[in-house]
Amino acid sequence: MNQATAPAIELKGISKAFGPVQANKDISIRVMPGTIHGIIGENGAGKSTLMSILYGFYKADSGEIFIHGNRTPIPDSQAAIAAGIGMVFQHFKLVENFTVLENVVLGAEEGGRLTPSLSKARKLLKQLSEEYELHVDPDALIQDLGVGMQQRVEILKALYRQADILILDEPTGVLTPAEADHLFRILEGLKREGKTIVLITHKLREIMEITDTVSVMRRGEMTATVKTAETSPEQLAELMVGRKVLLRVDKEPAQPGRVVLEVENLRVIDGKGVERVRGIDLQVRAGEILGVAGVAGNGQSELLEVLGGMRTGTGTIRVNGQEIDLTGKHSDARTRRKRGIAHVPEDRQREGLIMDYYAWENVGFGYHDDPEYNRGWLMNNDALRDDARRKIEKFDVRPADCWLTAKNFSGGNQQKIVIARELERNPDLLLVGQPTRGVDIGAIEFIHQQIVALRDAGKAVLLVSVELDEIMSLSDRIAVMFDGRIMGERLPSETDERELGLLMAGISDTEKPHDAAEVEQNLAHARGKVM
């Protein structure tokens, strides 16, 4: 790197507070041009706030921004675009029923007539896609494209606006391992062309794999900036959390007992008449964790919801040998709980918690008709509060205040409240969906320990997760779902990410070599149903 060049981005003393909360404290950072710079930190560490300041969504309370050595105030996103900054958000901002081309041009049209802009964009798009392996059909509708493709459109959008600094916020959250690899190849290509890339992530592996330098954030402060080659995942994790963390799950081999959950030919049709689960058979035994892997939207959520009593389905489900009502009067979640099924849902904010309820109200949620929480006609709020205080202490929920509403807890602590509520019921079968989505590393460790402890107490656990790392480290057996079916079952010790990735893409014969295009097509097909 040429020492004389100014940094592509230099932030000096950026601070930002939301009310009493200091989201960014005196942050300074230099990103050299033509490098990939990682920013890593737990949820709530202030990564997204910092990038939103750089992209003009928030105004910093103090501090300065320099782009290529020039002091550049960024009051709004137009100014950011003018300064050559492009942003790819975690949740894409695309118009679903527009074509790729229309989305790329949207907001950057020249003149009153659309046609000249479109034909100009078409040429540029062709050129860009050849340069950077960014192949997308310019006339395809966004709604027909898979997530990986949509992400490419977002990148193209930024490049079309002549961005030479690209910020990506958690870009791999929705991708399969193969798609993530492809994205990284694209990013490498962009870097070779002299673009500067800022990658925001909470995944240590990605940082190690692709970045040149990495900055670690903790509680609104930049705790360190190091060369990636000179650090290790363990060191980064420690910098993020502020203490030593166990990165792998410590567990003994499983001791499977009797069959607790038996599923036969389960089918689920959703509200739109699409069959989401297409004939599933599986078993979970006492004392084992069955992990269900798959790309989001391949029927895992529906499987979990049927088991948890949130949807109806057909087929047979037996728990402890007793058949469960799937469509009738007793197919609701309340009855499931009485049969010893606890459920940590995939989306704690939409399902697991009432965000406007106090922590103590949430502690009884779903079990609120338990005699423990009732006194005649009225609810026994004192009992609820006592129980909440006990669980908050036992599961180290912070802040330890049962009079806070759920939305005032961080993601990890919200999840601890759900986990405390469901695990303390001592269920025979635990259903867990995405237990650590949006949860900080410290809490991930704790939550994983709790799930393993439940297994060791001889309970059956069905885990659904789109995080392969989590599936690999927690499960005693892995089932991979694709397009509503189970493509295969593997033992974690006898498989690897490559093989699981192929199964997730719907290829059951994992021995023979595969054409990348076939995998791509398969995935697009599977997701097409979801979009």
Partner 1 sequence: MEKMPKWADVALIPLINLVLALVVSGIVVTLIGEDPFEAMAIMVRGAVGSTYGWGYTLFYATNFIFTGLAVAVAFHAKLFNIGGEGQAQIGSLGVALVCLAIPWPHWILALPVAVIGGALFGAAWAAIPAYLQARRGSHIVITTIMFNFIASALLVYLLVETLKAPGMAPETERFPPGTFLPNARDIFAAVGIEFGRSPLNIAFLLGLLACWLVWLLMWRTKLGYEIRAFGHSESAAVYAGISPFRIVMLAMLISGALAGLMAVNAVMGEQQRLLQDNVLGAGFVGIAVALMGRSHPVGVLLAAILFGALYQGGAELEFETSVPREMIVVIQALVILFTGALDNMVRDPVKRMFLRYGKRDPQPGTTPAE
Provide the binding-site residues for partner 1, judged by CB under 8 A: 17-23, 43-49, 220, 308-310, 332-337, 343, 345, 347, 350-357, 361, 365-366, 368-369, 374, 377-379, 381, 399, 401, 404, 408-410
Element (H, E) at 13: strand 9-18
What single DSSP character describes residue 351? I
Nearer to partner 1, 34 or 366 (CB): 366
Nearest distance from residue 368's CB to partner 1, in Å? Answer: 6
Nearer to partner 1, 24 or 228 (CB): 24
**Alpha-carbon separation of residue 130 from 31, 126, 133, 186, 398 (angstroms):** 27, 6, 6, 11, 50
- Strands 196-201 and 460-464, sheet pairing: unpaired
Asked if residue 252 lies in contact with residue 449, where contact means CB atoms within 8 angstroms, the answer is: no
**Alpha-carbon separation of residue 172 from 48, 153, 205, 467, 472 (angstroms):** 15, 15, 11, 10, 18
Nearest distance from residue 329's CB to partner 1, in Å? Answer: 10
Nearest distance from residue 463's CB to partner 1, in Å? Answer: 18
Nearer to partner 1, 415 or 522 (CB): 415
Nearest distance from residue 35's CB to partner 1, in Å? Answer: 25
Nearer to partner 1, 176 or 410 (CB): 410
Dihedral (Cα; 97, 98, 99, 103), 10-degree rounding: -140
Nearest distance from residue 367's CB to partner 1, in Å? Answer: 8
Those residues whose C-beta lies under 8 Å from the C-beta of residue 493, and which sit 6 or more positions away, are none
Nearer to partner 1, 184 or 357 (CB): 357
Nearest distance from residue 85's CB to partner 1, in Å? Answer: 20
Nearer to partner 1, 283 or 312 (CB): 312
Nearest distance from residue 272's CB to partner 1, in Å? Answer: 14
Those residues whose C-beta lies under 8 Å from the C-beta of residue 302, and which sit 6 or more positions away, are 268, 270, 276, 277, 311, 313, 484
Nearer to partner 1, 337 or 455 (CB): 337
Question: Two tokens at 450?
Answer: 């709790």
3-state SS class at 348: helix
Query: What is the rounded distance in angstroms from the CA atom of residue 334 to the CA atom of residue 355?
Result: 20
Q: In the structure, how many helices (H) and strands (E) does the chain have? A: 17, 22
Nearest distance from residue 311's CB to partner 1, in Å? Answer: 9
Query: What is the rounded distance in angstroms from the CA atom of residue 148 to the CA atom of residue 176?
Result: 9
Which single residue is written with the structure tokens 């300041």? 53
Nearer to partner 1, 208 or 355 (CB): 355
Nearest distance from residue 49's CB to partner 1, in Å? Answer: 6
Nearest distance from residue 201's CB to partner 1, in Å? Answer: 13
Nearest distance from residue 352's CB to partner 1, in Å? Answer: 7
- Radius of gyration of the CA atoms of the chain, in A: 25
Nearer to partner 1, 185 or 334 (CB): 334
**Alpha-carbon separation of residue 500 from 158, 176, 525 (angstroms):** 32, 10, 18
Nearest distance from residue 364's CB to partner 1, in Å? Answer: 8
170: left (phi over 0), alpha (psi -120 to 50) or beta: left
| Closest CA relative to residue 54, chosen from 25, 26, 83 | 83
Nearer to partner 1, 68 or 368 (CB): 368
Nearer to partner 1, 29 or 468 (CB): 29
Nearer to partner 1, 169 or 470 (CB): 169
Query: What is the rounded distance in angstroms from the CA atom of residue 403 to the CA atom of residue 395?
Result: 16
Partners of residue 290 on adjacent β-strands: 462, 477
- Strands 36-41 and 62-67, sheet pairing: unpaired
- Strands 165-169 and 374-375, sheet pairing: unpaired
